Amino acid sequence: MLGAAVVIFLALLLGLAADLVYQAAPAFAHFGFAFVTGTQWNPVTTSYGALPFIVGTLETTAIAMMIAIPIGLGTALSLAYLLPKRLRLVLGTAVELLAAVPSVIYGLWGLLVVAPWSRTIIEPVIGFIFGHSGPASGPEIGIGLLLAGIILAVMVLPTMVAISRDVLMAVPSEQIEGALALGATRWQTLWRVVVPHARTGILGAVTLSIGRAFGETMAVAMIIGNTPSLAHSLFSPAATMASIIANQFTEAVEPFELQSLIAIAVLLLVMSLLVNVAARLLVRSVGRTHVSAA
Amino acid sequence: MVLCVICVALALIPLVGVVGYTIVRGAPVWSADFFTHAPTPEGIPGGGILNSIVGSLIIDGMAAAASIPLALAIGLYVSQSHSKIAAGIRFAADVMAGIPSIVVGIFAYGIIVNTMHHFSAIAGAFGIAVIMVPILVRASDGAFRTVPGDLGEAALALGAKRASIARRVLIPTAASGLFTAILLAVARGAGESAPLLFTAIGSQYFTASPMQPMAAMPLTIYLNGIQAYPTLQRIAWGTGLLLLLFILILSVAGRTASARLGRRA
Amino acid sequence: MVDQPEVASATLDALPPAAASSEPEPESILMLRKVSVSFSGKLAVRDVTFDVPEKRVTALIGPSGSGKTTLLRALNRLHDTVSSARVTGSVLLNGTDIYGGALHPTLLRSRVGMVFQRPNPFPAMSIYDNVVSGLRFNGVRKKSLLDEAAESALIAAALWESVRNRMTARAGVLSGGEQQRLCIARSLAVEPEVLLMDEPTSALDPQATRRIEELIDELSDRVTMVIVTHNMQQASRVSHRCAFMLMGDDRAGELIEVGPTDQIFGSPTDQRTSDYVQGRFG
Ligand SMILES: Nc1ncnc2c1ncn2[C@@H]1O[C@H](COP(=O)(O)OP(=O)(O)O)[C@@H](O)[C@H]1O
Ligand SMILES: [Mg+2]
C-alpha cells in the first residue's frame, strides 16, 4: 500500500516534468535555441523570445536580495542572540506566522498601498540620488521593476530570517565560549565566530529565498506592469517568467503563443530546480558538519 | 545594537503593514450580506463573496481529501525506512516543494483541463493538491520520526504485524504532529492562487459542481484587486481579510498543536 | 573581604608551607573568597575559599557533578552568558575583585584564558587564524606581531613543527590531540596570566593525553594553571596543589580540602578526601 503511494508520488513528479515538456515541445521545436536568446515577444508577428522575462526574473530577484540579505541577517542575529529573551520568542513567532500570508495579499498591498508611495516618494528619491539617469531614468509611475524587487524582498524575509536564525542558534555554545574566553567582545564573537560558523546554512537560506523569488507569481504579476520587453531602468515596467505566464495564459490564442508561455514555464522549472537542489544540499551539509563536529 | 534594532524594524514594519492594511481596508467591507450573497452583476450595488467562500471550501476540501492519505502514506514509508529510496523521496519532496506554483498550474491545465476540454473546480483542486503533497510528506515524515523507535520494537516483540503497528502505535502517537502538518498544509493550499488561474478560473455565479468553473477567495482577490474601480478593490480587501484570518487561524492552531506536542515529548 | 575559613588558612602566604620545600612559596595570583554559584536559585557551588599560587598548577578534583566546571567558569565570568546563573562572593585577581566592576569581563578573559573539555577550534578559520584570533579580538592588527606571536605560541604548545607548513589549512584537518594543543596555543598567544583548563584531555586518547600533560608541565613556569580533572593519576602527575570538591547533602558542591598535591594524595586530613583518592587509585 505504501509502495503504491510512493509510485504515485514519483509518477506525479515525473509526470509534471513530462507534461510540461510535451506541451511546450512545439514552441521549442519551432524556435530552437533562439527562444532563450530572443528579445522580441510579439504574437502579431509570431516571434517569441524569452530573454526579457529571464532577465526580468534575475533583475527583480537581485534587487530583492540586495534588500533582504542585510536586513534578514541583522534580524536573524537579533532574534538569535541580541534581543531580550522574551522579545526574541514573540518576534520570532510573528515572523514565522507572517510567512503564511498569501502571495496575492502581498500583491494587493503592493499595488494599492505601496505603489502610490513608490510613485510619490521612493522613485523620486532614488531618481534624485542617481541624477535621473542610467538605472534611475524614465517616468516614475510607481509600478515596475523596483517595486517588484521591494515587495519580493518583503516576501522572502520571513523564510530567510527563520532559517538563518535557526542555523545561527545551532552554532555550538563551545564555539561562543571559546571566543569569549579569548577576550572577544559580543560583536566580535558574533561576526568572527558565529556568522562564519553558520555561513553554509545562511547561504542555504539565501539560495532558498532566491528560489522563492524566482517562482513568485501573483504578487509580482500585480505590480510589475507585465511589459514584454527588456527594462532599461529601475522604474520601467517589466515582466518576470512567472508573471507573464499568469498575465497572458488565458488570453493566449495566437499560433505558438500558449506553447511559448509553457516553454517559459519549462525554463522556470529548470531554474527553480537547480536553485532548490543547491539550497537543499547546502542546508543538508550544515546538518552534516554538526554531526562530524560532535 | 542600534543597527540590529533598525534591521528588525525594517523587517517587521512592512510585514505588519501588510496585515494592518488588510485589516483596516478589509474590515469596513464586511457585512452580513458580504458573506451570504453571490456577486451582483457589474454596476449593480450589493452582492458578496459567498460563491468564493464556498468555492474555496470545495476546492481546498477536495485537494485535502486527495493529498492527505497519499502524502501521509509516503511520510509513513520514508519515516520507517532507512533505504536510499527513502532518502531520495525525502529529497524529491524538498525539491518538489520548491516548484513554482504557476508551473503546477500549467501541469494541472495540461492534465485535467486539456483532457476535459473545459475549466473546472476539480482541475484547481488537483493543482492545490500537488502543492500540498510535498509539504505533507516532509511534515508527516517528521511527525512519524518523533515516535520513539522502541515503541515500534516493543509492539513487534508482542507479535504485532507491521500494518497494525502503524495503525495502533505510530499513527496515534504521531497524531498531534500529523494534525499540525495537515493544518499548515491546508493553510498553504488555501492561499494559493496561481494554480487556480487557468484551472478553476473563477466564476461570478454560485456553483457547487466540481466539474464547473468555480470562484475561490484568492482568485477573487486577484481579479478584483487589479481593477481600477474602488468598488471592486473593496471586494478584494474584504476577501483578503477573510482569507488572511482563515490562514492565520490555521497556522496558529497548527503551531499550538505542535508546541503542545513538544512539551509532552 | 571575608574572613578566611580554617581549611584555607593553613596555606596563607604568611605561614610556612605545609610541605617541606626548598623553593620559596609563590604569591597568590587568584584568591577565591566564599564563591557560590547557583542556577535558577538552586545552589551548585557553595562558599568556596582558597588561593591559587602564581606559576603553579592547581588541580581541581572531585566526583562528577561536584561543581568543578561550575567553579572554574566563575573564575573568568563565563557564567555571564548563562542568564539563570548567579555568582556571589569574590574572586581576586592580583587583588582586584573580578566581579567588582573595575575589570571589564572582556579584558578579564584575555588575562584569564580557558581551554575546554572538548577541543573547540573555530572551524571556519585556518590554523593560523585560530592561533591569532585572540590577539585580533584584542585589536592587534600588525602582521609581524601576529606572526611572531603565532610562532611562539605554537612552539610553546609543541605544535609548531607539525603545522608550520600548513598554517593556512583549516583547523579541522588536525587530530583531536593537535586540535586541543591548537586551543592551548590560541589561549597562550594572548599571554594570559592564568589558564583555566576543564578536563582538557578527557576527549583524547592516551598518547595525546600524555603530550598535553607534558605540555602542562613545560608551561608551568610561564603561566598559572587551574586544571579540572577526574583522573587522579593525572592530578598527581601534573599539579603542585590540589583542591578536592564533593557534593554536600543538598547536592551543592563544596570544597573539602586544599593543599600540596603530595599531601592530598599522601596524608589528607579529611577522611572523605582519603576515601576518594584511594578509591580512585585502587
Ligand atoms: N548551566 C547550568 N544550568 C543549571 N545547572 C547547571 C548548569 N551547569 C551546571 N549545573 C549544575 O551544577 C552542578 C555541578 O555541575 P558541574 O560543575 O558541571 O560538575 P563537574 O564539572 O564537577 O562534573 C550539577 O548539578 C549541574 O546540574
Ligand atoms: Mg565538568
ipTM of the complex: 0.92
User: Which residue in chain A is spatially nearest to C203 when comparing CA positions?
Assistant: A294
Q: Read off the pLDDT band of B261 (50, 70, 90).
A: low
What is the least distance, in Å, from the CA of A188 to any CA of chain C? 7
If you measure from the C-alpha of residue C117 to the centroid of ligand 2, how many angstroms do you get, rounded to a whole number?
8
> What's the rounded mean pLDDT across residues B126-138?
96
**Architecture of B47-264 per CATH?**
Orthogonal Bundle (1.10)
Residue of B76, B125, C80, B82 whose CA lies nearest to A189: C80
**pLDDT given at position B159:** 60
- pLDDT at residue B29, rounded to an integer: 94
Rounded mean pLDDT, A73-80 = 94
Residue C8 has pLDDT above 60, yes or no: no
β pairing state of C28-39 and C42-53 = antiparallel
| CB contact at 8 A, A159 and A207 | no
Which residue do the cell numbers 533598525 mark? B6
Average pLDDT of B26-42?
A: 91
Residue A104 has pLDDT above 90, yes or no: yes
CB contact under 8 A, B106 and A22: no
φ, ψ of residue C36 in degrees (nearest 5): -125, 145
**pLDDT reading at A292 higher than 70:** no
pLDDT 10s digits, A27-54: 999 999 999 999 999 888 889 999 999 9
C-alpha distances in angstroms, A248 versus A34, A132, A222, A239? 21, 32, 12, 11
pTM for the predicted model, two decimal places: 0.82
Rounded distance between C-alpha atoms, residue B127 and residue B101, angstroms: 8
With CB atoms and an 8 Å threshold, state whether C120 touches A182. Answer: no
**Predicted local confidence at residue B153, as pLDDT:** 62
Q: Output the pLDDT for position B152.
A: 61
- Using a CB-CB distance cutoff of 8 angstroms, which residues of chain C are in contact with residue A293? 123
Sketch the domain layout of chain B as residue ranges.
Answer: 47-264
The pLDDT score that the predictor gives to residue C280 is 66
> What ligand has the least distance to the C-alpha of C86?
1
- Going from N- to C-terminal start, the domains of chain C cover 26-117+192-277
Query: Which sign does the torsion angle of CA C94, C97, C103, C108 carry?
Result: positive
Nearest ligand 1 atom to alpha carbon C72: 17
pLDDT tens digit sequence for B170-212: 888 888 889 999 999 999 999 999 999 999 988 888 888 999 9
For residue B160, what pLDDT band results from cuts at 50, 70 and 90? low
**pLDDT above 90: percentage of residues in chain A:** 67
pLDDT score at A135: 85
Distance CA C96, CA C100 (A): 8
Question: Per the structure block, which three cell numbers stand in for C276?
Answer: 576518594
List the Cα angle B248/B254/B259 in 5-degree steps.
Answer: 125
* Partner residue opposite A104 with nearest CB, options B1, B70, B218: B218
Which residue from A83, A222, A275 is facing B226, i.e. has the nearest CB? A222
Instruction: With beta carbons less than 8 A apart as the criterion, state whether B26 and A105 touch.
Output: no
Among the listed residues B74, B73, B189, the one whose alpha carbon sits nearest the alpha carbon of residue B126: B189
> Which strands, in side-by-side order, build the sheet including C96-97?
C96-97, C85-93, C28-39, C42-53, C253-260, C241-247, C57-61, C224-228, C194-198, C112-115
Query: What's the pLDDT at B150?
Result: 60
Give chain B's mean pLDDT: 88
pLDDT of A4 over the 90 cut: no
In A65-156, the DSSP E strands lie at: none
The mean pLDDT of C165-192, rounded to a whole number, is 91
Domain C26-117+192-277 fold: Rossmann fold (3.40.50)
Separation CA C34–CA C1 (nearest Å): 9
What pLDDT was estimated at residue B156?
A: 61
Q: In a mutagenesis test of the A interface, which of C106, C115, C129 is the best target, namely the one with the most A β-carbons within 10 Å?
A: C106
In chain A, which residues have their Cβ closer than 8 Å to the Cβ of C83? 85
Query: Is residue C15 predicted with pLDDT exceeding 50?
Result: no
| Average pLDDT over chain C, rounded to an integer | 87
Residue A31, Cβ density class (10 Å: 0-12 exposed, 13-18 middle, ≥19 buried) = buried
**Domains (range + CATH), chain A:** 53-293 (1.10.3720.10)
Q: For chain A, which residues lie within 8 Å of any Cβ of chain C, measuring from their own Cβ? A: 85, 172-185, 188, 192-193, 196-197, 199, 289, 293
Q: Are residues A15 and B107, on separate chains, in Cβ contact within 8 Å?
A: yes
Of C48, C61, C68, C70, best ligand 1 pocket probe by most atoms within 8 Å of the beta carbon: C70
- Alpha-helical runs (H) found in B49-168: 50-80, 84-97, 101-108, 114-116, 121-145, 149-157, 162-165
